Amino acid sequence: MRRLRFFPSAMAVPLSLFAVSAHAYVGPGLGLGAIAVILGIVLSVLIALVAIVWYPIKRRMAARRKAANESSKTAPGEGA
């Protein structure tokens, strides 16, 4: 007998169209936990994106501030 290799992937969509409800109870703890997990993932991705953008800007601002401080210390005409 020949074995079907792609049965799970080929039959996933047609079988999901005929799914029957389980009549199972999902308590408020599971719902709140799922919401917390989703919010945690979304917030971590947003914080990662902000960090990727913010830290190079912060480094550039610090370099400009340092250059401005060094140039003001050695400005001509201020006297020693």
Q: What is the pTM assigned to this prediction?
A: 0.48
Q: pLDDT tens-digit profile of 27-67?
A: 889 889 999 999 999 999 999 999 999 888 999 999 999 98
Q: pLDDT tens-digit profile of 1-30?
A: 566 566 666 777 777 788 777 788 878 898
The Cβ-side half-sphere exposure at 47, using a 13 Å CA radius, reads 6
Question: Token pair of 28, please?
Answer: 């408020």
DSSP strand E in 1-80: where?
A: none
How high is the pLDDT of residue 44?
Answer: 97
- Of 43 and 69, the structure prediction assigns the larger pLDDT to 43
